[in-house]
Amino acid sequence: MVLSVDNVSKSFKDNVVLDNINFKVNKGEVVSIFGKSGAGKSTLLRCINGLETIDKGNILVDGEYLYREADGKVEAANGDRIKKIRRSLGYVFQNFNLFPNLNVMENLILSPTKVYNLTKDEAEKKAFELLTKLNIEDKANYYPYELSGGQKQRVAIARACMLTPKIICFDEPTSAVDDEVKRSIYDIIKAFKSENVAVILVSHDRDFVESISDRIINLECGKII
Ligand SMILES: Nc1ncnc2c1ncn2[C@@H]1O[C@H](COP(=O)(O)OP(=O)(O)O)[C@@H](O)[C@H]1O
Ligand SMILES: [Mg+2]
């Protein structure tokens, strides 16, 4: 088991967005979180990635606590623990979150060269392979503002694929792409799975979810149903 979400609740003021969520994910498993807009899917991914605090419960990433509850208070991981957890997690955001002041290639190689000590040549080679796979290699020198939504989505996916995390989260990865790119994203997810990476996929694309998932979690108004 690489992720454990136990009794997690989260509200924004009086809006209960996650209501006692429980699930576990194993290595190499593709788990989809399916549900309507506003159901709490992105919030759940943000909590799993430590980008949102939680009000109740525990989240364990690869055996380390990201959040743990004791005596009714939730403690968040810090220091070396959070650094280690961050390295285990990959995240493709729904709104892509590309660095606006860096071109596509620079977006891809920043973290691998700065945090993971790949050489620039190694990182660029890998980046180019990924961009080619996603059919966007001709945009390597473009800046995010020069790209369409679907192109930005592909760059965000390529950037997340530069590293091999233990868990990778995709938030609506197929929302802005055509069938050919969707097929590449399918292949990328399967490749992560074959490397024993756990994939958490948020999507309301029912066909895509059904074709790729080992398990589907239905989220409705912050509850698993
Ligand atoms: N930062 C925030 N502050 C206040 N409310 C938020 C915030 N983020 C999300 N919400 C609310 O949480 C609910 C779930 O949002 P979200 O997780 O984005 O849903 P989904 O991804 O399933 O469409 C919505 O009602 C939304 O308005
Ligand atoms: Mg969302």
Q: What is the pLDDT of residue 180?
A: 83
Q: Which ligand is nearest to the CA of 222?
A: 1
**Ligand 1 lined by 41 (C-beta under 6 Å):** yes
| pLDDT tens, N- to C-terminus, the chain (225 residues) | 999 999 999 999 999 999 999 999 999 999 999 999 999 999 999 999 999 999 999 999 999 999 999 998 999 999 999 988 988 999 998 888 999 999 999 999 998 998 778 899 999 999 999 999 889 999 999 999 999 988 998 999 999 989 889 999 999 999 888 888 898 889 889 989 999 999 999 998 999 999 999 999 999 989 998
Please state, in angstroms and as integers, the Cα–Cα distance from residue 35 to each residue in 15, 23, 30, 70, 158, following that order. 17, 16, 16, 31, 25
Instruction: Enumerate the domain spans of the chain.
Output: 3-219
Predicted TM-score of the model (pTM): 0.91
**Ligand 1 lined by 88 (C-beta under 6 Å):** no
Q: What is the pLDDT of residue 175?
A: 87
Tell me which fold the domain 3-219 belongs to.
Answer: Rossmann fold (3.40.50)
Q: What is the pLDDT of residue 196?
A: 95
Atom from ligand 1 closest to the CA of residue 46: 17
Nearest protein Cα to ligand 1, atom 24: 38
Nearest protein Cα to ligand 1, atom 16: 40
Q: Which ligand is nearest to the CA of 51?
A: 1
Distance CA 110, CA 123 (A): 9
Among 8, 17, 94, 220, which is best to mutate for testing ligand 1, by the most ligand atoms less than 8 A from CB? 17
Q: What is the pLDDT of residue 218?
A: 94
